[in-house]
Each structure stands twice: as structure tokens, then as C-alpha cells.
Structure 1
């Protein structure tokens, strides 16, 4: 029988090389490598699901906001982080006493400075993993609903709504509010809003006086109802709309 020179030797060397490579990767190392890849894949899935859920929650249910001013003291303090219920007023009715976040479509605020953008922060705010820090939103308390007549003030310096005087426990007790006279009827599709820190809140009272009609906030501009203070943890609480205060309003 004729044999091809070198064939048997080459096959033996090839088998030996494979065997040596196989021996060079121990079962423990192969298992460890496979476990690391599985762990990384699982972490990736968890992160992706978290981002998607956060985006959906931020889009349809709740959105986080940052409080930049003192206009709602003592209810909200500067630097508080809050969660806003986006279902109010989209799916559930707005009520007097609700604390609402709204877009500044009427130019109450000065133009926001053009700071350098942080793409990472913007992305995290977009998906809802960080609170919205944009400076073109405001937060106030709803005092008058569409059709309400809101007046300041009666003989006891109280605001009245449809003739009913309000006792307002949410107003900053550290200062006696300086009365600002007004007598308005809230148009359809709008609300009348005021800050709890009355002496330090540029709200419907002042903008209506300076630019007639602009003190009324369009319901379509409302982001939602502030529901919870989420940070700092020592201020964690649900926000009240004080139904007893408005119970006597006809």
C-alpha cells in the first residue's frame, strides 16, 4: 500500500495542538467567562427595561420636577424634588387647592440663560431618571376654577371665591400677606393661581394687573398636579389640597 509522505505526522500534530488548546482553557475558566457574559447580558436587560419603564411612567403617569424658588414656602422649599401626577387634569378633574406645575407660555419668567448643555443630564431628564430642571415651568396653587369669581379682600383681609371667604392654612405663617386688590372672574379653560408664600410669589395677581387677562393660566398649559415631595427624604410626604378650605365655596 502506498502512503502519502507526512500525512500521518501532520494529523497527529493537528490533534495534539487542539488537545493542548483545549487543555489550556480549563472548565473553570470557561464557566467563569460564560457566567460573566450572562451577568452582563442580564444587567443590560435590567437597565433597558428600567429606562423604558421610566420613560413610559414619565410620559403617561408621573414626572419629576425640581423647585427653584421660594414662592411656595412652607409647602415646598427651594431645591425640593417633587413628583407630578400627569393624569390631572387629563383623566381626573382639577380641584381648587391643587398645587400644579405649568408651562410658562405667557412669559411670566425672564428668558432662560443659554448655559452649556449636558447631553447626559438632558437624556436622563428626557427618560425621567432625573427631575426636570428646565427653568420655564412654574408651580402655584389653584384658587379659582373656570367660572369662579375671586376677590381680594373682604373686611378680614381674606380672599373670597364666589362670595365664600377662605381660611388658608397653607399660606406662609412667617409673614402677614400684603393685600393686593383684585376682582376677577375666571374664564373658561383657565385657572387662577397663587403662591403659598404670598409676599414672594409673582402669580396671577400681578400679571393680571400688569397685562390684563394674562394672569389666567390655560388648563392646556398644566403639566399636572404636584403629588409628592420625593427629596430630601426628611421632607418625604404627599401634598394636600386642603378640601376643607374650599368646602364652603358654592
Structure 2
């Protein structure tokens, strides 16, 4: 009797597991889809434009969460963004059912996603330029790009530009393999002027996840921490200081008017009495 009942219990547990398996798979797929949509997504590097920071075939993980909290791209970050229009050729690659399913839930990059990956050089309000045989300058401050520029490349020897004022809400982006990157410099004659709208940014690439031997983070290079780069923010400082100084003056004047009105009201009341 004991043997039969324990065997029946075992079969019941096995049946319960197989009944629950589809539910577990469904939950896993939903979680994967939510992670892809709101947290992190994998992207494959399709070209050599970001060498040696990123190699063709590398897989990177992109942070999609911080933009939901109002964060905007900063200088020096490596970002993934949607094609602003006309940056990529019109090409359709056939994917099998498995590839489509995995890319849908974010476990595999889609071959047909029209996304690009570049480094942010300047943000809205900045003035950016690069003369032939010179360095890239942001707000008049030269960048030391030796830590990420592809060996043997010049900052802009193939395509000098500027000075250009980056519109608010836009970005100026460039590839690390400067002489093999059709970046902002090469799209100045298009409708967007070569600038990337912040709304087109998918997120910041934070980790090289694959292959394992190339695993590593993608930090912002030290050159982007220079104080001179924030010249446009400093220009706004006098206005902010003026506003800060005006607030106490307005409050003092308001108190004077209230006190004066109180004296007048008290005099009127006295006259009535």
C-alpha cells in the first residue's frame, strides 16, 4: 500500500511539472520581452566603424532604462540610435523563424534593425569643429582621443568640418575608426544636418558581452571630463546667478508692499471709528 501511494504521488508530481512547464516558459518569455523593452538589449556590431573599441561581430548590451528617468546622452558615451534617415542603405536580410523569435524577445539582435552605433562627441548647445590635420574641438577645447581613436587614424583628416553649433536636443556623433566611419560628418547635406535627435537614441552601450575574451565595460574617456567642454553651460551661469539675485529683491519688495497696504488699511479703520 505504501509503495503504491508513493508511486502515485510521484506520477502526480511529474504530471504537475509538465503542466506547469508551458506557464514557466511563458513567464520567462514575458520577462525577456520586458527586459528587452525597458532594461537591456543586445546588439551586434555590423561594421568596423568603431574599431578598436568594438570589433565587427561583437555583442554589446545597451542600457535602455536610464532614458526612462529623463537621462540624456552625454559626451563620450557610446550609443545605439535609430537611423535618423538616409544613413543606412535600404537592404532586407532574410531571417528564419528561430532568428525572428529570438530577436523579438531580445535574446538575439535582429539583422534588419536599422540601428547604428557611434560615440557622442558633442551635445545640444555645444560648438564642435575639426580642421584638417587638427584635433576635434568642443567649445574651443581640444579632445585627446588617443585612448579610443583607431591606430593610424587622424581625428578628421578625411573629412574636416565646422565650426558647427549643435541644436538643442541633438547630438554630433563620430566613429572611433575615423577613416572608416560614415558618421555625422558625412550627412551634413541631409535634412537633419548630420545631427542625431535624442529621441532616436535607443540607449547607451555599457558592456561588451561577447565574445567572452573581449568582455569589458565601455566607460567615458577622461578627455570628456575637461572643464572647458562645458562652456555652453558656463555661458548660462550669469543668467542663473541673475535670477538667484533677483529672487530676494522681489521678495523684499513684496514684503514692503504688504506692510504698506497694512498701514493704509489700519488708517482707514481708525478713521471710520
Q: TM-score range by the shorter chain?
A: 0.7 to 0.9
CA distance in 2, matches of 1:61, 1:70: 27
Unaligned runs of 5+ in 1: 1-25
CA–CA separation in structure 1 for the residues paired with 2:79 and 2:67: 10
Quote the offset at 1:87 in angstroms: 2.8
Superposed, which structure 2 residues align to 1:43-54 within 5 Å?
43-54=21-32
The equivalent of 1:33 in structure 2 is 11
Larger displacement relative to structure 2 (164-173 or 122-131): 122-131
Contact 1:112 1:136 in 2 (8 A): no
Contact 1:88 1:94 in 2 (8 A): no
For the residue of structure 2 that corresponds to 1:94, the secondary structure is coil
Structure 1 residue aligned with 2:141: 164
CA apart distance, 1:36: 2.5
2: CA distance, partners of 1:51 / 1:174: 45
- With the length of structure 1 as denominator, give the TM-score of the two structures: 0.81
Give the ranges of 4+ consecutive aligned residues of structure 1 lying more than 4 Å apart after TM superposition. Answer: 26-29
1:211 partner SS: coil
Unaligned runs of at least 5 residues, structure 2: 232-273
Write the mapping of 1:71-150 to structure 2, written as runs, cut at 5 A: 71-91=49-69, 92-113=71-92, 115-150=93-128
| Structure (1 or 2) with the greater helix fraction | 2
Higher relative contact order, structure no. (Cα contacts within 8 Å, ≥ 6 residues apart): 1
Partner of 2:241: none
Alignment counterpart, residue 173 of structure 1, candidates 143, 151, 158? 151
Q: What is aligned with 2:171?
A: 191
Tell me, yes or no, if the aligned pair for 2:73 and 2:198 is still in contact at 8 Å. no
